[in-house]
Amino acid sequence: MSIPGLGQAAHAATYLTPSIASSVAIHDLQANSEWRFEVAIGRSIEAKVISGTAELFGTELALNHTYTFRGTKAAIFTWHGCQLEITGTCEEYTAEETPMVSYVNTHFALEKLRDDASGGRGECPKVLVVGPTNAGKTSLVKLLTAYAIRVGRQPMVINADSREGLLSLPGSLTAVPFASVMDVEQGWGSSPTSGPSPVPVKLPLCYYYGLPSPEDNTKLYKPVLTRMALAATSRLSDDLDIKNSGMIIDTPGVISQGKGGYDLISHIVSEFSVNIILVLGSERLHSDMLRRFSGYRTTTGDTITLVKLDKSGGCVDRDDEFMLQSREASIKEYFFGDIKRTLSPHTQQISFDDATIYKIREANALLSSLLPGGQEDGESELYEKVEPSLAMLHCILAVMYASPVDNQETIRDASVMGFVYMAEVDEKKRRLKVLAPLNTRVTDRPMVWGSWPEATMSLVG
């Protein structure tokens, strides 16, 4: 799935003329510079390292191998200089000033902690990355993960941002141990599908939130995150290699932009026993984090180390239209595959009476504000059991590893079995037509309907 950030670089950048690359172009990059590019959704370019060495978000690019990039914003960096051959059309420029030195120094500091943990001299690093929206948090997480993999580590990557999926669809929260190289063309790589993959697939542990922002329903977001933290820390305790490598946690930008969000940061710190916070691209946020976590100790008795890092000059604001197209592309890839792997989703006809569907309740900010002392409404249920209707048409529903007779808390805490697409709703015949990536019965499981990702009509038709 597409890389959700543009590469990291700080302060001023030395530009070549911003241009539209045409047909075949050769770029000679000097040491410690990067070539930044933006490929529109639906378009592609090919990139090849002809000489020298280069990397994309920490993953080294093979010499004379052609890489294809589609609908993405990224950057190819070189430590020692390289020559690139680019085929295709994209917006691009070269930057000679980047924060890569501070990023790689952060990696070396984490490696020191991992060595200490392996020798029984301390705890493994549990890193939380915070910062405003479009500050490059996901790109930094990807880079630190790639560097850890290159030295033989197996870090656990946590995605707490439901707006964008990590090896899953948007709306989900995931925890993934990374033990093999990442696929630079697909961003994080791929999760299991019915087709072959040149890069080993990753096995994400997936939970469903179904709303775009943690603040839309903190009553649901917090326990889902707590359940994922329990599963992730349990995996760490069972696997020594992952335990010594630690965790890297990505967060949504919205929680770094207000006091309500700071409470969610505190919740993440507490649940995952975070001992390092990387603050990206915000002096004020760094100051607020210092005040909030000065003297704070984790459940293991560790103090929290705060590190301020510069935002890359290559980070760009991704407009709503680009993000919508990215979500639609990831959904289409989930059901139908991509150019390299074509998948054929299974169609199932389901009676209204056989479907168990719960709709996520969105928190009502007005009603919450009327409660005394800012208390939350503890009476309302998390989900509303609903009968299928035309409002579900073209929506994505999560199929949960639970039973239709389970209570709402059990369904909330269950991991995601997969997703289905509501292709048709016939209210007269009381039948549904759904698309599923695998031929498995979905009537034996409860399905949860959220508002995120939003309905997409471009998937079929």
- What domains lie within the chain, and their CATH numbers? 19-98 (2.60.120.1030), 100-309 (3.40.50.300), 345-449 (2.40.30.330)
Pairing of strands 357-360, 447-449: parallel
* H helix or E strand, kind and range, residue 240: helix 240-245
| pLDDT reported for residue 437 | 85
70: three-class secondary structure by DSSP: strand
State yes or no: pLDDT of 184 exceeds 60: yes
Q: Give the residue with greater pLDDT, 302 vs 117.
A: 117
Classify residue 21 as exposed, middle or buried by CB count within 10 Å of its CB (0-12, 13-18, 19+): middle
Contact 345, 335 (CB under 8 A): yes
- Going from the C-alpha of 321 to that of each of 91, 324, 339, the distances in angstroms are 17, 5, 23
| Average pLDDT estimate for 71-78 | 93
| pLDDT reported for residue 199 | 58
| Average pLDDT estimate for 207-225 | 95
In the block, residue with structure tokens 């990374």: 178
| Average pLDDT estimate for 34-43 | 92
- What's the mean per-residue pLDDT of the chain? 87
| pLDDT reported for residue 7 | 31
End-to-end distance of the chain based on CA atoms, in angstroms? 22
State yes or no: pLDDT of 362 exceeds 50: yes
Q: How confident is the model at residue 200 (pLDDT cuts 50, 70, 90)?
A: low
172 CB neighbour count, 10 Å cutoff: 27
| Average pLDDT estimate for 401-427 | 95
DSSP letter at 404?
A: T
- Percent over 90 (pLDDT), the chain: 67
Extract the runs of DSSP E, i.e. beta strands, from 149-274: 156-159, 172-177, 205-208, 247-250
| pLDDT reported for residue 295 | 82
123: three-class secondary structure by DSSP: coil
Q: How confident is the model at residue 452 (pLDDT cuts 50, 70, 90)?
A: very high
**Radius of gyration from C-alpha coordinates of the chain:** 22
81's tokens = 């200089």
- Going from the C-alpha of 14 to that of each of 9, 18, 98, 105, 314, the distances in angstroms are 11, 11, 10, 23, 11
Contact 374, 148 (CB under 8 A): no
At residue 389's C-alpha, the angle toward residues 386 and 394, to 5°, is 115
Q: Give the residue with greater pLDDT, 86 vs 321.
A: 86
Instruction: Find, among 7, 3, 72, 8, the residue nearest to 39 by Cα.
Output: 72
Total residues belonging to the chain: 461
| pLDDT reported for residue 198 | 57
The whole-model pTM stands at: 0.89
Extract the runs of DSSP E, i.e. beta strands, from 121-182: 126-130, 156-159, 172-177
State yes or no: pLDDT of 79 exceeds 80: yes
Contact 311, 136 (CB under 8 A): yes
Please state the residue numbers annotated as binding site. Answer: 34, 73, 134-139
246's tokens = 């630690």
Please state the residue numbers annotated as binding site for ATP. Answer: 34, 73, 134-139
| pLDDT reported for residue 364 | 53
Paired with 29 in beta bridges are 82
Pairing of strands 55-56, 24-29: unpaired
Phi, psi of 212 (to 5 degrees): -75, -30
Contact 164, 170 (CB under 8 A): yes
Contact 81, 60 (CB under 8 A): no
| Average pLDDT estimate for 188-214 | 74
- Percent over 70 (pLDDT), the chain: 88
Dist. CA 413–CA 425, nearest whole Å: 28
Helical H segments across 273-391, by residue range: 283-293, 320-336, 365-370
